[in-house]
Structure 1
Amino acid sequence: MTEPSSVGPAAARSASGGVGTVHSVVLDVPDLTAEADFWTALTDGTVAKRDDDWITVVTPDRWGIAFQLAPDLVPPQWPGQEHPQQAHLDLYVPDLAAASTRAVELGATVLREGEQWITLADPAGHPFDVCLDEKADGVSVMGATFDCADASALARFWSGVMGEPVTYDADGVAMLGGSRPLLFQTVERYNPPRWPDPAYPQQLHLDIEVPDLDAGEAAVLAQGATRLPGQGDDFRVFADPAGHPFCLVR
């Protein structure tokens, strides 16, 4: 399912006692080069790893955004739930209009415009938001947002995994703090992925870096994760309580 890349030094445990740290946000894509080129240009990132079926881009603010080849990907059709987005990246930008124009020039499509954020789709169809922050120094990653049936419950799960507090929980939206924020939004008629069923594909997943796969597996299962098929010497595959696949990597 996934392959780790070289974003930073191996993590021990998070300072507050979690299982691991966010290593990369991984998007399934039918065209590795087109997707990596888009996100490299949009974020002013650099390519850290390139294989036949995998490319990792590291942003200036040290987020890893990786792309794994999925030739038969069924792209999301935002905002419906027949082929849902499931998760998306949020970016801070100092100028919404300029950021949107730049993204479209690079190959994005505008899906919705608002006063504080604009929703677009990247060349593979993955939605993402550019969010206004007039103090931002260029494009930076605000966090990754996951759709779910119960934002509060999913935030509690990921708080245990990441060892980070829930810093916001109201009106169907919850958020974890820390250097790699994760956000969760309650969606009506939420339609989860059923990995590895291609009819209900994952759209993206997190790679969580851990110092020990056996200990990490025991810890995430105790938090409420489900083991999924697929593993290698340096990764194992799980699903969170909302069905989102994720990998423990080392």
Structure 2
Amino acid sequence: MTVYVGCPELLGGEDGGTVLANFYLEVLGWQLYDAYGTFFLSRSPKFRIGFDGDGWSDQRPPRWPDPEYPQQIHFDIAVPDLDAAGTRVTSAGGALLQDNADHRVYADPAGHPLCLYPDPAATEPTVARLVYDCFSPRSLAKFYEGFVGVPERLEDSPERVVIDLDDDELPNLAFQHAQCLAPRWPDPAYPAQLHVDYRFTVDHEVPHFQTPAAKAAMARAEELGAIHLQNVVYADPAGHPFCF
């Protein structure tokens, strides 16, 4: 799984991808590397975060909590020490947006929100959940349960659902109720902000999206209600684009 964070071309006079990659490097402490001009942070071979311009729109950058400039998807990050982690975020260029009883909401240097949750069991910052905004959390959760093949829900309410991917190297998927503009990829007036690339197998003999596992996943996604947008780009029933 690769989560791509949309980056402005220039941010404070610097390359946006470089600024955001360095920001998340400070927050997460993962390995940073450059692959063909795109920066990635990696926690394990199964999960990484990439930084590029896809998904970014100067017309409608994220301005949480304004529903006209929605976040669409954000990270929930579990940290061993909330105060220390918050200091790292602001020192790296982030900004505190909201201090709640059980977590804090920050913005990265481009405005993408992220949430910090204290977790006494955590030994290092970990992306615990990838959180999707949508009108009906239970409906969208049902799509992803069928798509990735996991049936267990850690939370289940009309306002919020969390499904368990049952893999310590991957973030769980969460869905929260939000009344905001849905993404309409590739329309820059309705940007996606973040999107996910899925790989179901690794086969170095053929492109990963041409493997039997990927083709089966594409067919399964369409059967569950996804829309094929272009080449290997699909949209889930709430409009969030994802790729193979």
1:24 aligned onto 2:2: yes
**Amino acid in the other structure paired with 1:27:** V
Structure 1 residue 124 displacement after superposition: 1.3
Of structures 1 and 2, the one scoring higher in RCO (CA 8 A, sep 6+) is 1
Aligned to 1:184: 175
Aligned to 2:220: 219
2:82/2:118 contact within 8 Å kept: yes
> Secondary structure in 2 aligned to 1:111?
strand
**Which stretch of the first structure deviates more once superposed, 165-174 or 142-151?**
165-174
**Amino acid in the other structure paired with 1:207:** D
Change (3 A) 1:173 1:72: closer
2:137/2:158 contact within 8 Å kept: no
CA distance in 1 between counterparts of 2:46 and 2:28 reads 11
1:118/1:129 contact within 8 Å kept: yes
> Secondary structure in 2 aligned to 1:206?
strand
Gaps of 5+ in 1: 1-22
Q: CA RMSD in A?
A: 1.7
1:241 aligned onto 2:232: no
2:147/2:217 contact within 8 Å kept: no
CA distance in 2 between counterparts of 1:62 and 1:110 reads 30
Identity rate of aligned residues, in percent? 35
Q: In the TM superposition, what are the counterparts of 1:55-204 in structure 2 within 5 Å?
A: 55-59=39-43, 63-70=47-54, 72-73=57-58, 74-167=60-153, 168-178=155-165, 179=167, 180=170, 181-187=172-178, 189-204=179-194
2:236/2:242 contact within 8 Å kept: yes
1:61/1:141 contact within 8 Å kept: no
TM-score (norm 2): 0.85
Structure 1 residue 69 displacement after superposition: 2.1
Structure 1 residue 170 displacement after superposition: 1.1
2:136/2:158 contact within 8 Å kept: no
Structure 1 residue 115 displacement after superposition: 2.5
CA distance in 1 between counterparts of 2:104 and 2:46 reads 23
CA distance in 2 between counterparts of 1:39 and 1:60 reads 15
**Amino acid in the other structure paired with 2:177:** T
CA distance in 2 between counterparts of 1:238 and 1:203 reads 15
Structure 1 residue 143 displacement after superposition: 1.3
1:63/1:141 contact within 8 Å kept: no
1:221/1:227 contact within 8 Å kept: yes
**Which stretch of the first structure deviates more once superposed, 205-214 or 159-168?**
205-214
> Secondary structure in 1 aligned to 2:198?
strand
Gaps of 5+ in 2: 9-15, 202-210
**Amino acid in the other structure paired with 2:4:** V
